[in-house]
Structure 1
Amino acid sequence: MKHKPIIGLDDAFGSRAKALRSMQGKMLDLFEDAGYEEVIPPMLERPDALKSGAGRFLADQTVVFSDPAGAGTLAIRSDMTPQIARIAATRLQAEAVLKLSYSGTVMLARPDVRGGSRQQWQTGVECLGIAGAAGDIEVMHLAARCMMAAGFVKSVLQVGHIGLLKALVAGCDAPLETWTALLARRSPDDLREVIAVESISEDRADALLALAKGKGDEQWIADSVGKFGADFDIAANELLDLVHEVGDRVEGDVSVYADAAVMPRFLYHSGILFAGFAEGVSQALLYGGRYDAMMKAHGRDMPATGFSCDLWALLDTV
């Protein structure tokens, strides 16, 4: 009987395995040179450790099972950032500032995109203990260097802020997960169906539809200040100031743009968020952002920001 790999999972051998290890080495060397120390979390966690402050979507992407050795219900990690949060909150409490890197396999309950893979080789950094723009700028600068080290040219960092969307949908019945999923799909028709059953003002509905059409650029954000309340204005000004500062510091052929339509991959981000793209590549190469709220959910109230990429995806697109 021939046993085939599970759909969505695959083997790596020969040149592909060598290429992955080579790419992994480049990334870890880059992170080490930038002052980030590698950590190697276990593949399995208690489900609560992966779900604390991480949002419903990540919970739905996590495979859980009953441990035959009697340890109770365990989970296969679907994202390593919650593990870093746990380590920082429970193992490294004495350190006020932590700069940590990681690289390892994660498994999703279902692919991110139709026909995609359920296994990813997640590689990234987490910068904990540095509040506000200073931490965001450091991580975004490193993300730009990551794309260049992988061999991409004319890369782009699209930077958003989850506070913009939260302000636009404040008071709506649909959860934030629904709005982010609709906007990530860039589907105005589906968005209209949800708006139709919500008590939402016409100007906010128009703003959401503009984002679904990809019209949330820097000018749109600036023009929207003063229209949607104080929370929107705070997020918008923070975003615009940060983009200008990052753009002045980033190295190489990397452009930095404000884009209110950038949506988080997982819903643990609580402020600035960003995605990295390259010329000729339709899917994001990396995702990142600030997640202070998740650290608090893990029992340690400290600022945190980071980014990660999937090495398999980088190899398939470079």
Structure 2
Amino acid sequence: MNLEIQSLRRAEAATLRLRGLYESYGYRKYRMGRFEEYSLYAANKSFLLGENVPTFTDLDGRLMALKPDVTLSIAKNTKADKNTCEKVYYLESVYRESKESHTYKEISQMGLECMGGVDDCVIAEVLALALKSLADFETDYVLKISNMDFVVGLMEELPVNADQKDIILGLIRTKNRSGLEKLCADLALPEGDTEKLMKVSGLYGEFGRVLAEAGAIADTPKMKEAVALLSRLYEVLEAMGLGGQLDKVRLDFSMINDIEYYNGIIFQGFLDGLARQVLSGGQYDGMMAKLGKKADAIGFAIYLKELERLPEKSIRYDVDALVLYEPDVDVVRLCQAVESLRRQGLRVRVEKAVPEDLRYCYLYRYDGRLSLEEDRENAFQENGKEGARC
């Protein structure tokens, strides 16, 4: 029985645990304002998840926005370069249009960003934190990983124009194999190119198997390096003691983000019972370059709202101990006695009478000393039932 996060809702408990996790890796909490100049988002709309951004005119005449994204604001203000590394985590609200209700919604979001000199060590660390974050939610999970450079390297060798490349990428992203096969025929692509595109669209599954299949068709320097990086990262994650979690990792080369902003490693996290991803991240060197930053970057966001769709754990008791006292007791000694219970890790409530509908495990009465009058946990077990401890 502990006085802690077990009594909190799932999303609240997760944020507390994850803060400790990220700080143990040296990430510091990033605090930011609620508003940002609209021009930042107007210039980077394709980086955002939605087109519409809530705006207002400030008293000084500037057009401001309720921030729809955290990463852009952090990137805009970072001083990091390729010789340094800024590591931050955040817990913020963003404001986006709801596709269901077509109204603006406030969305709680947690995540981390690493900006500066991003190398294999940094990428592996961020992937490790993504895995540990998913494991913290105490339900089955999958982390899907891709390296966009693999598909980009393939696309650079195809005899197609920019518009045709976009169509091909879209078909791979949606795993539309029949549409992809028809397009290849319409474009009269060489048989070898068509075969590789069809294989890429189906490259999904267990890490080692899919990596071997990708290596078999990697015939450009960029594709080969993409495979080599994934292999190195897998080895590093094993060395970090995450071998037991790597069976939760899947490679999925159909995952393709906007190549104007994203590059290299990208990933998504899913929890059992939820249709939508709860974690999304990757490298976004292109966005840093567009902002004029001489630094690389990688990070991820956790969509806390999605956690609310998971069933909450059942809590039998609101408090562990209820202490009743009479009005004329020695208050000093009463408070000392109550604190002795709290030091044992109990959640204690002090009242003159039993509150209506309060669920408690132990009932104490104080009349100069503490006397245990009721132990519902022992009574529960003596009845032959089994359940969570209070």
TM-score range, shorter chain: 0.7 to 0.9
Contact persistence 1:158–1:274 (CA under 8 A):
yes
Asked whether the 8 Å contact 1:47–1:64 carries over to 2, the reply is no
Matched to 1:164, the amino acid is F
Structure 2 gap ranges (5+): 1-6, 312-390
TM-score by length of 1: 0.77
In the alignment, is residue 311 of structure 1 matched against residue 298 of structure 2? no
User: Is 2:247 the partner of 1:274?
Assistant: no
Q: Secondary structure at the match of 1:108?
A: strand
Contact 1:121–1:312, Cα closer than 8 Å, also in 2? yes
With over 3 angstroms needed to count, the CA separation of the structure-2 counterparts of 1:315 and 1:166, relative to structure 1, is same
Which deviates more from structure 2 when the two are superposed, residues 196-205 or residues 100-109? 196-205
Q: Is the 8 A contact 2:54 2:95 kept in 1?
A: no
Q: Is the 8 A contact 1:99 1:127 kept in 2?
A: yes
> Which residue, out of 187, 190, 204, partners 2:193?
204
Tell me the equivalent position of 2:144.
158
Matched with 1:187 is 176
Mapped to 2, the partners of 1:175 and 1:267 lie a distance apart of 16
Higher mean alpha-carbon deviation, 128-137 vs 56-65, is at: 56-65
> Partners of 1:60 and 1:162 in 2: how far apart?
22
On the 8 A contact 1:159/1:274 being kept in 2, the answer is yes
Partner Cα separation in structure 2 for residue 51 and residue 177 of structure 1: 22
For normalisation by structure 2, the TM-score amounts to: 0.64
Equivalent of 1:49, from 37, 40, 44? 40
Q: Could you report, residue by residue, the CA deviation over 1:209-267 in whole angstroms, capped at 9, with x for unpaired residues? A: 334345472222111122xx222222222223223322442535443343322333896
Structure of greater Rg: 2
* 1:32 paired residue number: 23
- The amino acid across from 1:312 in the alignment is K
- The partner residue of 1:105 within 93, 100, 106 is 93
C-alpha change, 1:68 and 1:278, in structure 2 (3 Å) is closer
- 1:96 aligns with one of 68, 84, 96: 84
Deviations 1:113-164 (A, max 9, x none): 999x9653221111122322111001011111111222234x3332211112
CA distance in structure 2 between the partners assigned to 1:199 and 1:64 by the alignment: 46
Going by fraction, where is strand more abundant, 1 or 2?
2
Greater CA drift, 132-141 or 26-35: 26-35
Q: Which has the higher contact order (CA 8 A, sep 6+)?
A: 1
Bigger Cα displacement from structure 2, 124-133 vs 243-252: 243-252
Native 8 Å contact 1:39 1:101 kept in 2: yes
Q: 2:276 aligns with which of 260, 264, 283?
A: 283
- Report the equivalent of 2:361: none
Aligned mate of 2:59, from 48, 51, 69:
69
From 74, 87, 90, the counterpart of 1:84: 74
Aligned residue in 2 for 1:172:
161
Q: Which residue of 1 aligns with 2:360?
A: none
1:137 equivalent to 2:133? Answer no
* Structure 1 position 295 matched with structure 2 position 288: yes
Q: Match of 2:192, as an amino acid?
A: D
Greater Cα shift, 27-36 or 171-180:
171-180
Contact 1:166-1:176 within 8 A present in 2 as well: no
Q: Percent identity?
A: 20
